[in-house]
Amino acid sequence: MKRVASAVLLFAVLGVAAASAQDINADRAAVMRANGAGVAALRALTTNFDAAAVKVQAAILAGNGAKIAALFAPGTDQTNPQASPAIWTDAAGFKVAADKFTADANALMTVSDGAGLTAALATLQSNCAGCHKAYRVAAPPRPAP
């Protein structure tokens, strides 16, 4: 009886751990997709400049920077095969990368025309590429048919 109870408890605990790993990885992917959507919206605004609309997207991206720092913080789940172990072995470096992304997103707030936005967007996007190069593991290629 006691053994059954502890087996049930063990399954419950494992179930919760699996669910939260899934949740955090879904949250991480959602933030990254929001980054993609934000960049696309800003790219459209380079030719159709609207300062208020730029600020809305900049605020979303800056918020995403803070979320990235939190979602990959020390002690968070490391089971996502696309998240490099370097995120946690070099947690300080990862935090610097996330904070720089946040700062460059905030800098978008100050642009005053399409050319300024184009330049600031290029700076912001160098963060995507830089962080992915250092801390993201590309999905394995699909096997040849």
* Cα angle 77, 82, 85; round to 5: 55
* One-letter amino acid of 62: A
When binding is defined by CB under 6 A, the residue of 42, 54, 58, 83 that contacts ligand HEC is 83
Q: Does 55 bind ligand HEC (CB under 6 A)?
A: no
CB–CB of 84/110 below 8 Å?
no
Q: Does 101 bind ligand HEC (CB under 6 A)?
A: yes
User: In 3D, which of 106, 11, 27, 16 has the Cα closest to residue 69?
Assistant: 27
Q: Does 59 bind ligand HEC (CB under 6 A)?
A: no
CB–CB of 25/79 below 8 Å?
yes
Nearer to ligand HEC, 46 or 127 (CB): 127
By CB under 6 A, name the binding residues for ligand HEC.
28-29, 32-33, 35-36, 39, 68, 80, 82-83, 87, 97-98, 101, 127-128, 131-132, 135-136
